[in-house]
Chain A
Amino acid sequence: MSGWLGFGITGALLAVALLAGRIAPVDPFASVALPLRPPSGAHPMGTDDLGRDLLAGVVYGARTSLFVALMVTGLACLVGVTVGAMAGWRGGIVDDVLMRFTELVQVVPRFFLAVIVIALLGAGLDRLVLLLGLTSWPLIARVVRAEVLSVKTREFVEAARSLGASGARVLTHEVLPGVLPSTIVVASVNAGAVILLEAALSFLGLGDPGAMSWGYLANNAQRFLRVAWWMALFPGGAIALAVLGFSLTGDALNDWLRVTSDRSSDVA
């Protein structure tokens, strides 16, 4: 049941992000009404201190948030699957070196590294995606490695080899498809974590100033907590809903695809 709820939330979020231009009544940066108005028929989530429509902000925020989450997770999967597959498939010294390196990357606190790098280079979605993507892959690599280690001793892999298939072909055609389910599970859990990270960074004023984001809206609400509760309630609630959607989806996929994943070590 909760799995369907997860898919529902994630699907709805994707739809909102894709159709932001149609759903949002107005430009999220445009001043369209009196400032600090509570939710009403014309502005269901109220307006902020500059008279901008909050619903439009939240809708366009979904676009930024999901874009970052999907790009980062895609990049992390690319690196993680490559490293994990190489380590598990080759074994020996390659495995040792890659896994030691993975442990080193896993120790780096992503949030604080992102704070420093953005402070040094300036804000932008491109560097945010690169930075989070290049630090979010260790968990995926470890899961993929473990799966490859278990799959590569199975009979169908043996069979493919004895038929004369090359190592690369066995890896890409026989082993990696078996690794896919657990990769999807870790990836969806990771996407939720990335949404939280992106929101936290834009809450600190480190988001892309050209893109509307939930963290930025929540930060803006901070100064008006006493007078405009709606400015704080809706953007943060959207973040919580999105993360909830991704973690329910991850749980459901985990149950349905019957895979095990190491979830205890999601270091910042």
Chain B
Amino acid sequence: MSHRYLLRRLGQAVPAVAAIFLLTFLLIHLAPGDPVVALGGEHGDAAYYAMIRVKFGLDRPLHERLIVYAARVIRGDLGTSFVHGRPVSGIIAERLPATLLLMLTALCLSTLVGCGLGTVAARCAHRPADFFLRSVALLGHAAPPFWLAQVAILGLAVGTGLFPVQGMTDARRNSVGLAHAADVARHLALPALVLAASELALTIRLVRSAMIEALGTDYVRTARAKGLPEMQVTDHALRNALLPVVTLIGGRVGMLCAGAVLVEAVFAWPGVGQLLLASLLSRDFPVLLGIFLLVSVSVVFANLLTDLAYGWLDPRIRYE
């Protein structure tokens, strides 16, 4: 991959990030009411409001404010939560590991299982196994994550006690080391499965159609003709069929984050989603805007990484 490609693609991400800054900025300033109240809460006194007015540059014209705002965000200063009284970036950073653990586990599950099941569906195309897998995929895609979560709790946690209903650790026992990891894993299983479900559905559909196409190509016929075992032929085809899956992952980061919020809400998973819910109830705008900024910028970078990975995986793709 050429450096020019890298630079050009990076250059494309800049306007997207700039647009997101602008949008967040406008959301603060064009909302009804005084932005000072939005940033500082409704119960501050005159001196506190004056301090915020100066700190956030609200006494200056709009275009200067935008520059002040952008400079602050670039330095990682997302403002101060008026519920917690601490910097927003710190509050989000505390919650991030739990959410990342959930999202990455779900992403790995959906990609690995999706590729496996998609291949099975393609190999038995138009047979009962394929029909069954496609139906499951359709349902997984149609069902809202919070419903899957509720059904999973009803079916696998409340009745049977196989899995814990809520939380990240057992509140009755304080474990350390391996026991702690096992405890978290037990709590992680259901939320990760539920979050993986809708991604899994899309991955199965995509891998299936890409595999059916790949299995019909000349190089697969050649591989079969020279007597390669079916396992190896499938492996050949799968490598090429996997390319679109990379795009799927990059393009779905926004949906995955939204799904994580809902799954966290049902399972009381202590991540950014729970923080978003709590901030919604307390109208903690700096935190809400911080989370919005984080998700938006992640989406831009996920798309960027996807494109770069795509160019790296498939040398035929060159940026003009």
Contacts and interface: CB of A to CB of B under 8 A. Distances in A.
A104 B16 CA distance: 6
A101 to B, nearest CB: 9
Contacts of A265: 247, 251
B76 interface: no
Given A120-B285, A232-B154, A218 B291 contact: no
B299 interface: yes
Interface stretch (B57-65, B89-97, B222-230, B252-260): B252-260
A45 interface: no
A228 B276 CA distance: 27
Contact of A264 (B138, B247, B265): B247
A56 to B, nearest CB: 20
Given A119-B283, A120-B285, A244-B138, A236 B23 contact: no
Interface in B141-166: 141-147, 150-151, 153-154, 158, 165
Interface string A226-237: 100100110111
B80 interface: no
Given A119-B285, A225-B158, A268-B254, A107 B16 contact: yes
B1 interface: no
Interface residues of A, number: 48
Interface string B279-290: 011010100110
Tell me whether chain B's interface is mostly helix, strand or loop, or mixed: helix
A200 B299 contact: no
A267 interface: yes
B124 interface: no
Interface stretch (A25-33, A66-74, A108-116, A145-153): A108-116
Interface string B288-315: 1101100110011001000000000000
Tell me whether chain A's interface is mostly helix, strand or loop, or mixed: helix
Given A109-B292, A111-B255, 11 more contacts: A100-B15, A112-B295, A115-B292, A200-B262, A203-B262, A215-B144, A218-B150, A225-B150, A232-B150, A243-B144, A264-B248
A96 interface: no
Interface string A198-218: 011001111000000001001
Contacts of A267: 251-252, 254-255, 299
Interface of A: 100, 103-104, 107-113, 115-117, 119-121, 192, 196, 199-200, 203-206, 215, 218, 221-222, 225-226, 229, 232-233, 235-237, 239-241, 243-244, 247-248, 264-268
B18 to A, nearest CB: 9
Contacts of A115: 276, 280, 288, 292
A120 B27 contact: yes
B146 A218 contact: yes
24 contacts: A103-B16, A107-B16, A107-B296, A108-B23, A109-B299, A113-B292, A115-B288, A116-B289, A119-B280, A199-B144, A203-B144, A203-B146, A204-B261, A205-B280, A218-B150, A226-B158, A233-B150, A236-B146, A236-B150, A236-B151, A243-B142, A243-B144, A248-B138, A264-B206
B292 A244 contact: no
Nearest to B284: A119
A107 B144 CA distance: 22
A236 to B, nearest CB: 3
Interface in B185-234: 206
B68 interface: no
Contacts of A104: 15-16, 19
Complex A-B, nearest 8 residue pairs according to Cβ-Cβ distance, in ascending order: A236-B147, A268-B254, A243-B142, A111-B258, A109-B254, A244-B142, A240-B143, A232-B150
Most A CB within 10 A of own CB, among B27, B150, B151, B206? B150
B147 A218 contact: yes
Contact of A112 (B144, B154, B251, B292): B292
Nearest to B283: A119
Interface string B1-33: 000000000000001100110010001000110
Contacts of A236: 143-144, 146-147, 150-151
B87 to A, nearest CB: 19
Nearest to A239: B144
A40 B288 CA distance: 43
Contacts of A200: 144-146, 258, 262
Contacts of B262: 200, 203-204
A221 B257 contact: no
